[in-house]
Amino acid sequence: MSKIAIMGAMPEEVAPLLERVENINKVEYASNTYYEATYKGKELVIAYSKIGKVFSTLTASTLLEKFGCTTLLFSGVAGAINPKLHIGDLIIADKLCQHDLDITIFGHDHGYVPEGAVFVETDAKLREIAKEVALKNSLKVIEGTIATGDQFVASSERKAFIESTFSADALEMEGASVAVVCDALDVPFFILRAISDTANDDAGVDFDEFMVGSAKISANFILEMVENIA
Q: Give residues 44-83 in contact with ligand ADE (rule: CB under 6 A).
A: 77-79
**Exactly one of 12, 13, 123, 206 is catalytic; which is it?**
13
Closest contact distance (angstroms) between CB of 102 and ligand ADE is: 17
Is 21 among the residues that bind ligand ADE (CB under 6 A)?
no
Closer to ligand ADE by Cβ: residue 65 or 201: 201
The one-letter code for the residue type at 104 is T
Is 177 among the residues that bind ligand ADE (CB under 6 A)?
no
Is 199 among the residues that bind ligand ADE (CB under 6 A)?
yes
Closest contact distance (angstroms) between CB of 100 and ligand ADE is: 11
Closer to ligand ADE by Cβ: residue 6 or 79: 79
Is 203 among the residues that bind ligand ADE (CB under 6 A)?
yes
Whether residue 212 contacts residue 68, with contact meaning beta carbons closer than 8 Å, is answered with: no
Is the sign of the CA dihedral 164, 167, 172, 175 positive or negative?
negative
**Exactly one of 89, 123, 169, 197 is catalytic; which is it?**
197
Closest contact distance (angstroms) between CB of 186 and ligand ADE is: 27
Give yes or no: 65 in active site.
no
193, 192, 195: which is closest to 206 by C-alpha?
195
Q: Contacting ligand ADE (CB under 6 A), which of 3, 207, 213, 220?
A: 207
Please count the other Cβ atoms lying within 10 Å of the Cβ belonging to residue 222: 23
Closest contact distance (angstroms) between CB of 132 and ligand ADE is: 26
Distance separating alpha carbons of residues 44 and 134, to the nearest angstrom? 22
150 exposure class (CB count in 10 Å sphere: 0-12, 13-18, 19+): middle
Give yes or no: 150 in active site.
no
Q: Contacting ligand ADE (CB under 6 A), which of 92, 196, 218, 223?
A: 196
For the window 133-172, what string marks contact with ligand ADE as x by the rule CB under 6 A?
-------------------xxx----------------xx
Distance separating alpha carbons of residues 114 and 137, to the nearest angstrom? 43
Q: Contacting ligand ADE (CB under 6 A), which of 129, 133, 147, 173?
A: 173
Instruction: Give the residue numbers marked as catalytic.
Output: 13, 197
Residues that bind ligand ADE (CB under 6 A): 77-79, 152-154, 171-173, 196-197, 199, 203, 207
